Structure 1
């Protein structure tokens, strides 16, 4: 699109409207999400963004067909389910009975030797280097979006503090929404190859030309790393990486078990290791093929979350009152105290494109990323909970609030056991509602599934309420 567009609200309106239009159909998605298999609209490239030095791409991962291309499985008629099938074969290997089967199994496992990250001396992401110490960094020249009218305005959601007092006014409610945040645990600060290298996809609020606010949930690895640096009394290095290999955004969102690197997952999906180059101003390695990398230091002077302007406690050093933020539930997540990031450098390709996404009521790009996780991790969930035949994360649950689980029912009240098992399975612990269905339930047709639920559920016997972590 060659017409000039504004990053504050206008791009969101266009992208939100387009994302609800038809798209090229995915034959594989018809099996598990027939209502959305041919939806998602087109990917959009805005060549002229008001006040920005870079073009902007959005809705890149906003359909099943584009997800298949991004993850390298577009040629397989099963689509993203084929990745789950590969994982199932690797997690449940059958011992070879003949020499031919042995060679076939060796060929299946051989690619795993190539999926680790590869370090290189230079990369496209550092074709242009801008340093804060040379007064070259200006984050406001990036086409960072303001998605919703009340973003960054705490007064508008009932708090007795405005954006200026919150420390966020200069950013005008604009947020980075589609970046991989690279961090390491403080225990690995001197390690040549830190095992804790983590990539998380968190939001970051623009504060000014050289500063951001870092938001993460306390149970995420990024927050755990931050607490480790806070314990030492040292600021935490961070690299905020945009773009790169098409598998990177998905890898950053994948709910991997502790100790399993997102870089390995990305390498597995990509078919070879992700090349990394040493950052310019922080002790981290970053994806060499990124479009843009923002390097900086996260303050650890910031106090804990749970701060309120009426508490009588000062906001404190190294902190801002981040938010509110229009979230994927269709509501604003409320503001709270989060640490500042002081940016030390921006590096980028000469012809860099800024990738971003709208976070809002589904379906948006994160809907398709979430449904990809549903299919990719089904074999692992079935390994943990053997009763499960299939599951579906309905759109109304916004990915983590509801799950339809279909089981091989063998005895009365088996669903109670399955429910508890699901809540003990990694990030499934955050699921608010678990619906357990028997083998003939149409769980991938949400209307039909709910009719099945109301027809068969005895509310006095079958509804169980527990106190969860959220």
Structure 2
């Protein structure tokens, strides 16, 4: 389904009972984010919110794709898997041998369909240019400041258009933009992103780089800007395929080399000067749930702002999961399963990205297993596939259980898992936002082979007996004062994994503690211990896993311990320890800064508590930040180590 404009999508959401209008005044500085954080963590993502009274001329739409249902509505489908099935059908049709003239003629309608998805540049001005502001002032837009330690207000849903100066190929991406002046922002281009490559080419040519930023329009544009497409595939071809109608583009007024969607709500035109001094951008409360560290990025100079007469400002917040971006990620997980299967990993059956893993940190892949070592083959293929190169923990399982049933999946994977031989470590490119890496953008990876094992994959040194651990959490805490909490609940579910909260006080503390714990009575059969910071409640499994995944560099932070088998002294058992605690210079020789988790400040929480009854949002919802406030280090966004 093609939406005519953002208000068309808003009307559709409202008719479906998926939108709440808020007429009470709410400040874009911190207050909208605090309300949205409460709503987005409601069951099923709550509702989309339209803030109509912000002190600006434009309403703010947020959480518009923040549920499974609204994500499907944005893409015009009943189920996200419908898109994957259609893509798989196209791949099969294109790859099928064409033996007769009739086979080839049968292709013509599909070829015509392909042409109908290609973007088209139209003449004249678009609705996005109904109002032209040649003396631009970003202060006229309701740009949000989301979190108290953010470096300033950030545009959080910008669809950023650039072109390769040599080939003219377009890239449409999404990179946050910190507003510094009325006509200048930062441009947060990570080293791995296509726009950063375009900028590098402009620098070689010593040529000013035109850039345009679209906000709003059909929500498919926003999604397509986030999609992990191959470098030379036009995002607007994907948008045309999803909406079943080509995207109409118009040339920018002050940057005519760049085209933008004619039906966008806002367009911010400008340029980046290659030789100009970079600007210190950030910190920013990011999708990891932590403040991303400040760094140097290019300056974007605004030459014009254009907009529709009835423009709506779209925004989002990112932070401690779940947030709206989890559902955007779910769409990518489902839509791109088919291309991965058809081009890279033919044995893949399904894929899952648990919300606690915030996209790249944790990915589960289910495969048809036919031969030994197949999980490692899949591991290498996936780590070499586009943005999957940023994956930190990959769990591979087979068809013995559903991957969406996490309990059954863990039981199945651990049953035949030998942590000494079935867990693989590597290193490579990592997301720039991953703070656990000793060096920015480069760190460790781990693959857990949770498939059923074939004879060739077993090591006869290890006892395959399924031991029933009998761990006394109270006794462990009494014997080891640094142990502040032990979660044994997984053991009761036949999942041989412990979560241990530890207060570190010396170098190599976890590395020295782990073998001692493994040697304790009742520990035989525990295959994995996940260590978290002492401020983390290990009984709160989703929060503990989120903190663990963020703070772990698997290659650096793993400790494997073997012990003689209690059944056969000629055999051994193994337990893998994984240190998901905070890393410091003092205790870990960690030389980078370590960021704080993201929480709202007390003053903002109090303001929203007091105005909640006037917001038309139903029963009172307390601030999610209250749960995490005791886990903050000092009051800054970053811990200087």
TM-score normalised over the length of structure 2:
0.61
**1:387 and 2:333 equivalent?**
no
Q: What secondary structure, in the 3-state scheme, does the structure 1 residue paired with 2:332 have?
A: helix
Q: Which residue of 1 aligns with 2:49?
A: 44
> Which residue matches 1:306?
none
Work out which of the residue numbers 306, 319, 328 in structure 2 matches 1:360.
319
Q: What per-residue deviation string (whole Å, max 9, x for no partner) do you get for residues 266-291 of structure 1?
A: 11111121111110101211110000
Judge conservation of contact 1:96–1:105 (CA < 8 Å) in 2.
no
Q: 1:239 aligns with which of 196, 209, 212?
A: 212
Task: Specify the alignment match of 2:86 in structure 1.
Answer: 86
1:400 is paired with a residue whose SS is helix
Cα–Cα, structure 1 residues 364 and 324, in superposed 2: closer, same or farther, change >3 Å? Answer: same
Q: Would you say 1:337 and 2:296 are equivalent positions?
A: yes
**Residue of structure 2 equivalent to 1:279:** 252
Partners of 1:256 and 1:138 in 2: CA distance: 33
Question: Against the structure 1 CA distance between its residues 80 and 101, is the aligned structure 2 distance closer, same or farther, given a 3 Å change threshold?
Answer: farther
Query: What secondary structure, in the 3-state scheme, does the structure 2 residue paired with 1:368 have?
Result: helix
Q: 3-state DSSP class of the match of 1:459?
A: coil
- Matched length: 404
Q: Secondary structure at the match of 2:377?
A: helix
Question: Which residue number corresponds to residue 293 of structure 1?
Answer: 267
For the pair 1:122 / 2:143, whether they are aligned, the reply is: no
1:229 aligns with 2:235: no
407-416 or 333-342, larger mean C-alpha shift: 407-416
Counterpart CA distance in 1 for 2:400 and 2:111 is 35
Identify if the C-alpha distance between structure 1 residues 446 and 361 changes in structure 2 by more than 3 Å, giving closer, same or farther. farther
Q: Which residue of 2 aligns with 1:19?
A: 40
- Match of residue 531 from structure 2: none
Q: Structure 1 residue 448 and structure 2 residue 408: aligned?
A: yes
Structure 1 residue 236, shift from structure 2 partner: 1.1
Per-residue deviation, 1:217: 1.0
**CA RMSD, aligned part only?**
1.8
Q: Would the aligned equivalents of 1:85 and 1:379 in 2 still touch at CA under 8 Å?
A: yes
Gap regions ≥5 residues in structure 2: 1-21, 431-641
SS at match of 1:427: helix
1:49-88 matches, cutoff 5 A: 49-50=54-55, 52-74=56-78, 79-88=79-88
Q: Structure 1 pair 439/213, CA: closer, same or farther in 2 (3 Å)?
A: same
Matched, 1:264 2:237: yes
Q: Which runs of 5+ in 1 are unaligned?
A: 23-38, 153-172, 189-193, 303-316
Partners in 2 of 1:214 and 1:43 — Cα distance? 28
SS at match of 2:341: helix
- For the residue of structure 1 that corresponds to 2:288, the secondary structure is coil
User: Aligned partners of 1:16 and 1:322: how far apart in 2?
Assistant: 24
Query: What is the rounded CA distance, in whole Å, between the counterparts of 2:196 and 2:172 in structure 1?
Result: 12
Residue matched to 2:158 = 179
User: Which structure's relative contact order is higher, taking Cα pairs within 8 Å and 6+ residues apart?
Assistant: 1
1:417 aligns with 2:389: no
- The offset of 1:246, in angstroms, is 2.1
- Give 1:97 shift: 8.8
Contact 1:58 1:356 in 2 (8 A): yes
CA deviation profile, 1:383-418 (whole Å, cap 9, x unmatched): 211221111111111011111011111122321111
Higher Rg of the two aligned structures: 2
State which of 337, 348, 356 in structure 2 corresponds to 1:378.
337
Structure 1 residue 455: deviation in Å? 2.8
1:350 matched to which residue of 2?
Answer: 309
Partner SS, residue 389 of structure 1: strand
Counterpart CA distance in 2 for 1:446 and 1:359 is 25
What is the CA–CA distance in structure 2 between the aligned matches of 1:97 and 1:213, rounded to whole Å? 55
Cα 1:109–1:456 change in 2 (3 A) is farther
Shift of 1:99: 9.5
